[in-house]
């Protein structure tokens, strides 16, 4: 299933392109994935031994949270990127001009999860 956002009528940025761009040009996905996995492991340790998740379950939960993170990011970008940034090259320029990736990496590095 291909999830996409429309920035301007007829212009589509899809999840795969955004994910690929973030993977190739930042540590955003790695940072978030490591943070959420550590958080889930901490919660898991507090569960009854018989009810603890195995590694595969933790990995699936981490992947689900990462997918939700990307979807939320797309939603925010949809509301944030001005109409004149109407092609994939333009939204990448928007990222660069506005230090979106750097700010996102900093925010994730400072992120803490509540119990």
Residue 95 scores a pLDDT above 50: yes
Q: Which residues, in sequence order, are CB contacts of 95 under 8 Å at separation 6+?
A: 21, 101
Average pLDDT over residues 20-38: 94
Which residue did the predictor score with more confidence, 3 or 75? 75
Q: Which residues, in sequence order, are CB contacts of 93 under 8 Å at separation 6+?
A: 85
Residue 8 scores a pLDDT above 80: no
What's the pTM? 0.80
Q: 32-71 pLDDT, tens per residue?
A: 999 999 999 999 999 999 999 999 999 999 999 999 999 9
């Amino acid at each position: 299933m291909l999830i996409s956002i429309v920035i301007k009528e007829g212009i589509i940025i899809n999840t795969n392109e955004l994910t690929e761009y973030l993977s190739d040009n930042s540590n955003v996905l790695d940072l978030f994935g490591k943070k959420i996995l550590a958080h889930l492991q901490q919660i898991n340790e507090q569960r009854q031994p018989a009810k603890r998740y195995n590694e595969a379950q933790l990995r699936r939960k981490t992947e689900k949270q990462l997918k939700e993170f990307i979807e939320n990011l797309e939603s925010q970008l949809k509301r944030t990127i001005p109409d004149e940034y109407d092609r994939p090259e333009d939204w990448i320029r928007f990222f660069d001009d506005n230090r979106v990736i750097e700010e996102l990496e900093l925010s994730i590095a400072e992120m803490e999860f509540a119990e």
